[in-house]
Each structure stands twice: as C-alpha cells, then as structure tokens.
Amino acid sequence: MSTSKIVLVTGAGTGLGRAFTHALTAAGHQVVAVGRTAATLEEAVASAPGPGAAEAFRADVTDAAAVVDLFAHIVQRWGRLDVLVNNAGMFGPTKPIDEVSVDEWKQVVDVNLTGAFLCAQAAFRLMRNQDPQGGRIINNGSISAHTPRPHAVGYTASKHGITGLTKALALEGRAHNIAAGQIDIGNAATELTAGIASGSLQADGSIRPEPTIDAAIVARVVAQQVELPLDVNVPFQTVMANGMPYIGRG
C-alpha cells in the first residue's frame, strides 16, 4: 500500500465523486468527502471500502464562507491537505442559448466554475504554506471543455473556464511544489449522463444513443494520479467511451 494521503473530494455523494471516494479509500487514502446532500454523502462514506477511510463534510462549494469552514476543518483535523479533487458540478438546462435565463446561467457557472475556484484557491493557499510544502489539484473538466454539445451553453462555457483555471493553477503552482491538472471525462455512466445511453441530441439535430463507460474506470485513473510524486504533473488527460462522438463530433 502506498503512503496514505489526505484527499478532499467535492461532489462526493453521487456519481463520479462517489466513485472517486471509493477508489481512493480502497487505495488506502483518507478522504474528506464533501457534498450538499447529507443522505447521499453519508451513504457514500458508509459504503467506502478500506483500508483507507472517508469522512463526510456537508458544504456548498459556491458559498465562500462554507469553503472557509471546510478548509479550517481540514487543518484542524488533519493538519494538511495533499490532494484536492475538484469534482462538484451540474449540467444545467438543456435548451437553446437564447432561451437560457440569466439565473440558469449563473447557477451553472457558480457550481462548475466559481465553486471550483473557491476550493482551488483555498487548497492552493494551504498547500503553499504547509510543511512540507506542496500538493496536487485535479480538476474535473469534460469533453465539453473542448467540444460542446448542442443546447448546453452554461455547461460548455463553465468547463472551458475550468481549463483556464487549471492552466493558471499549474503555472503559479510550479514555484510552490503544487501540481495542477485536469481530467476530461466523456460519457461516464452516472446520474448526470443517464439519458445519453438511450438517446442524446447530436450536432446534426438527430437523437442517437451514445456508449458509456463505468465510472469506476475513471476513478482508477484519478487514483493513479493521486499516487504520482509532485515532480510529475498530468496537465490534461482525456478518458472517454471509445465509440462516443467526440473526435469529429457531429
């Protein structure tokens, strides 16, 4: 078993976050599992396999004060943070650009981008000042950080923003032994992608089913990144269902 690390996973109650939590505890790490819904969060933590362990911390990552409380807890409980997995996100409304309300836009951007920034900023500050210095930040991007789906302007724009956030973190982190990278995931089978297997809107206007992959496979990739020494970074990595329409989407 590798040396146990303190890992923070946001959006940990369901979907990919739950899979990440389970893969990391199985690898022997201590996971601080963060989410907004107590019931799903507690279930994810209770079902996490050892030899590591997970603890639940209920917080809304879009709330700056809640993020401050979260990191204060980490410092008090563990004294340091080795890895942040910035995973909390939402897809938002599926409708044409001109039908998306300002409130709908803000909700998606707040969760996907502002929440990621708040957690990354707090993690960066902690990793920069802790002893020994450094840590790793892994942002959950998306295929949509590169190529959009139709009728998903908020999700697409926020995920493109994650790419910029990742690059800024990686650049500024070099001086402080902080490695920052992004994993772009395509069609992992979760609640968020439940409709894709039965039929998804394509760029040509047709509705066609798309293949998916087990979220546990993606979680294994994240767990591998957590194991890397800090003199190694994976700036961008794409993990996707082989048959999905991305390379030449549409």
> 194 falls in which pLDDT band (50, 70, 90)?
low
**Structure tokens given for 89:** 């996100």
Instruction: Domain ranges for the chain, please list them.
Output: 6-240
> Is the Cβ–Cβ distance between 109 and 154 less than 8 Å?
yes
> 85 falls in which pLDDT band (50, 70, 90)?
very high
Q: Are strands 188-189 and 200-201 parallel, antiparallel or unpaired?
A: unpaired
Catalytic residue among 57, 71, 124, 155: 155
Is residue 246 annotated as part of the catalytic site, yes or no?
no
> 195 falls in which pLDDT band (50, 70, 90)?
confident
Q: Is CATH 3.40.190.10 the classification given to domain 6-240?
A: no
Residue 226 is predicted with a pLDDT of 98
Helix-then-strand count for the chain, H and E: 7, 11
How far CA 199 is from CA of 22, 88, 154, in Å, comes to: 29, 25, 21
pLDDT tens for 144-190 read: 999 988 999 999 999 999 999 999 999 999 999 999 999 999 888 87
Nearest to 52 by CA among 72, 82, 15: 82
